Amino acid sequence: MQKNVAILALCVAVVTLLPKTAFAIAFTNRSGHVIERDSISGVVVHVDNDQRSFTLRWVRIVKMPWATYDTQSNQDTYRISEEIVYKNGSWANMGKGAKVRIRGRGFVVESIEFR
């Protein structure tokens, strides 16, 4: 019995000491469901400097052995985190037409990589 309690305590300690959850940036599909992904790459179509937000558009591509298909275009608005990390650029580079890859949690961007 004591051995089981010790194992349970060890498992609880490991779970509580794990690092932050992985990136899971969200987007809304055509059905209105929110889906999370590791990252999203797309083109900036609008920037709101006052709100520190931007709208990103991207196309979902499905690759088959015999062809590549553009299935649908998606667009969502994202806010910038206070601890944002920029790679290959800065907020000054955020403008209409900028190609970026974003990561974050929900609809809050924590990392922007300029392409």
Domains of the chain: 21-114 (2.40.50.320)
User: Taking a C-beta distance cutoff of 8 angstroms, is the pair 48, 54 a contact?
Assistant: yes
| pLDDT tens for each residue of 89-108 | 999 999 999 999 999 999 99
Output DSSP code: residue 45: E
Backbone angles phi, psi at 104, to 5 degrees: 170, -155
| pLDDT tens for each residue of 1-48 | 677 666 766 666 555 555 555 668 999 887 889 999 999 999 999 999
| pLDDT tens for each residue of 39-87 | 999 999 999 999 999 999 998 777 788 877 766 788 999 999 999 999 9
